[in-house]
Amino acid sequence: KQTNKQTCLTKLGCQVTTAVFFTLFLVSSPAFSASPLYDGVPIAPVQYGWQPDYITDKQLQKLDQQIQAANADQALQHNFAYLKAQCQIELAHWTYREVRTTGITEHLAQSAVHNLQAAQAKQGVALISGPSPGYPRRPFTQWQKLQQLAQQRGTVCAPQALACADAALLGAEYEYREGYGNYQKHGIHFLKQADDYLAQAEQQIASCQTQNNRHPLSADALFRFGRYQTQDLLPQGRVQLQQLAQSLSKSAIEQITVVGHTDRIGSDQANQRLSQRRADTVVKLLRQLLQQQGINTEVIRFVSEGRGESQPQVHCNGNQVTEALKACLQPNRRVEINVISRREG
């Protein structure tokens, strides 16, 4: 196979020399249906047990080649979904060489196809993979470490390390589940590899340089007075959010925080609810608009906060609700959007 020099989870396989090989005479099966995007690489669900429907080495190689070709222009070199596809196909090569009777290779190949398609469609994928069928989640401390890193700011600076740490842990679970031959030695090696990737990710996240951009918007321009639902969004407000999403389309966004504020008219409790609901609505709309711009929102942390009337920008005299008082308090009715992104260069 053609080894990917960047990810190469099977550097483990290059160093561990003993592997279990099986020879199968594969026959064509209607269970396989080639994806139109991956013609000639049939990927289909495989039941556990001996059967003729396993993926072949040539099919794995072709899928590997298609994954590499998808990044020929280097446009996906920092795309998390694409990097995850690379790591998973490397692991699929490894499991294929060890054993081909459990469906694990087919599952990894399907996952790689899913992630590659997501990368090409500019869609998000989960940072942490679920358990492989038949290989229950092991209580490795590395899973906890990966979860902790995934919650930190700066994950946009460590996409490859995070993706390959995840795949290495899947490999460790596979080895410990099989329970024969060199499984223990191989499993320990996968865990060591996960440790190396996690350490790399931790360093990259810690040194990640980010910049904060604050975008204050008038709530009166966004919503009808006293309202908060999507259908209450004013045309001008929708345009402002669309323009903001367009301006962020080329940013490596780490976190978006939306904070809603109200004036002092009404009760504290009502104002707190209104500010929170407006922030929630703006987060929902921003997520949709960014997805339309091709941004992977799955790796962006969205935070919505409602602060009610607690942080006024202006103070106005009078308690009687008049149009003059509403106009005076207008700057207090606002939504602030803070965008944290990776600083390029």
| Mean pLDDT within 22-28 | 23
Q: Convert the pLDDT of each residue in 190-249 to its tens digit.
A: 999 999 999 999 998 888 767 778 899 999 999 988 888 888 889 999 999 999 988 887
Percentage above 70 pLDDT, the chain: 80
Q: Convert the pLDDT of each residue in 54-112 to its tens digit.
A: 778 888 898 999 999 999 988 888 888 899 999 999 999 998 888 666 788 888 998 99
- Of residues 179 and 286, which shows the higher confidence score? 286
Domain membership flag for residue 148: yes
Residue 231 and residue 196 share a domain: no
Residue 166 and residue 74 share a domain: yes
Looking at the 3D structure of the chain, how many domains does it have? 2
Residue 52 has pLDDT above 60, yes or no: no
Residue 221 and residue 168 share a domain: no
Q: Convert the pLDDT of each residue in 140-163 to its tens digit.
A: 999 999 999 988 877 878 899 999
Residue 136 and residue 262 share a domain: no
Residue 258 and residue 175 share a domain: no
Q: What is the pLDDT of residue 181?
A: 54
Residue 226 and residue 185 share a domain: no
Residue 216 and residue 197 share a domain: no
Domain boundary among the residues 206, 232, 251 is at 206
Domain boundary among the residues 206, 221, 242 is at 206
Q: What is the pLDDT of residue 9?
A: 52
Residue 5 has pLDDT above 50, yes or no: no
Are 333 and 247 contacting, i.e. CB atoms less than 8 angstroms apart?
no
Q: List the structure tokens of 203.
A: 């360093």
Q: Which residues of 21-48 are buried (b: 16+ CB within 10 A; e: fewer)?
A: eeeeeeeeeeebeeeeebeebbbbebee
Residue 215 and residue 327 share a domain: yes
Residue 273 and residue 236 share a domain: yes
Query: Which residues, including other chains, have CB under 8 Å from residue 38's CB and lie 6 or more apart?
Result: 63, 66, 113
Domain membership flag for residue 6: no
What single-letter amino acid sits at 47?
Q
Residue 176 and residue 323 share a domain: no
Residue 266, number of CB atoms within 10 A of its CB = 16
Domain boundary among the residues 206, 222, 247 is at 206
| Mean pLDDT within 47-54 | 53
Residue 128 and residue 35 share a domain: yes
Residue 218 and residue 186 share a domain: no
- CATH number of the domain within which 267 lies: 3.30.1330.60
Q: What is the pLDDT of residue 332?
A: 93
What single-letter amino acid sits at 176?
Y
Angle between helices 104-120 and 57-70 (to 10 degrees): 20
Domain membership flag for residue 71: yes
Q: Convert the pLDDT of each residue in 245-278 to its tens digit.
A: 888 876 678 789 999 999 999 999 999 999 999 9
Domain membership flag for residue 151: yes
Domain span at 101: 11-206
Written as one string, the DSSP assignment of 56-75 is PHHHHHHHHHHHHHHTTTST
Written as one string, the DSSP assignment of 227-291 is --SGGGB-HHHHHHHHHHHHHTTTS-EEEEEEEEE--SSS-HHHHHHHHHHHHHHHHHHHHHHHH
Residue 18 has pLDDT above 80, yes or no: no
Q: Convert the pLDDT of each residue in 276-335 to its tens digit.
A: 999 999 999 999 999 888 787 877 888 899 999 999 999 999 889 999 999 999 999 999
Burial (CB count <10 Å: 0-12, 13-18, 19+), residue 294: exposed
